[in-house]
Amino acid sequence: MFRPIFLAARQLKHPAIVKRGLAAAAYENILVEKKGAQQNVALVTLNRPKALNALSSALMSEVGQAIDALNKDESVGCIVITGSEKAFAAGADIKEMQNMTFAKCFTGNFLSHWDKVAQSIKPVIAAVNGYALGGGCELAMMCDIIYAGENAKFGQPEIILGTLPGAGGTQRLTRAIGKSRAMEMTLTGNQITAAEAEKYGLVSKVFPTSQLVEEAIKLAEKIASYSQVSVALCKESVNHGED
């Protein structure tokens, strides 16, 4: 069961992999920076503040491109994804989705860029301030570790719109907090606070809003200081523990 990640882990030190600078790609909906004393942490910031970081196809395409590039960058050992203090991501872009049929979503492989977050060879930490609703909550759950600011709110409000959580939201939420709580959240659309999310096991730790990203980067630096191959294999082993 380790063969796919084993092959991917070998690529982390394969001589054919070309080191890429972050300046090589220009993004319109996200910001990508290197952080940490060794510049071995990549910080990806969702950057649609006027739309509360609604997850449009253009934004998620850029996230997918960034994840691909960072997985090939030998200097990066861990990735942090964050939003603004007001919103990590308030959900999918409803305006964009209004006229999309199921057939269009299916044939267009609508979730392919989302999958790249969950399938990243390198660990991904979500640093969640403000709203993480619908697709925002699902994106956070695709990450390997979730840190939350004290003002964070998590929820799956899709039922209110007459639909259900996508992108594996129902499965990941159930695994994280248990069937009963997952049922309550998805069937009512009720939100939970950062403190509740920590209590239920959805997030690892909660920090003051202003310190959240700094703390996530500290964690990422520690992870990035270890062997990338060992980290990748450890990550895959834990993920298989959920199967």
Active-site residues, by number, are 92, 135, 138, 158
Contacts (Cβ under 8 Å, ≥6 apart) of 5: 121, 232, 233, 235, 236
* Long-range pairs for 4-13: beta carbons < 8 A, 24 or more residues apart: 5/121, 5/232, 5/233, 5/235, 5/236, 6/233, 8/121, 8/232, 9/121, 9/228, 9/229, 9/232, 9/233, 10/229, 11/121, 12/74, 12/121, 12/228, 12/229, 12/232, 13/74, 13/228, 13/229
Torsion angles phi and psi, residue 193, rounded to 5: -80, 170
Which of 9, 239, 7, 241 lies closest to 122 in space, CA to CA? 9
Sheet containing 124-128, strands listed edge to edge, beginning at the edge strand earlier in sequence: 30-35, 41-46, 78-82, 124-128, 145-149, 205-207
Cα distances (angstroms) measured from residue 144 to each of 1, 141, 148, 220: 19, 7, 13, 11
Which of 7, 4, 8 lies closest to 122 in space, CA to CA? 8
88 neighbors 47 (Cβ within 8 angstroms): no
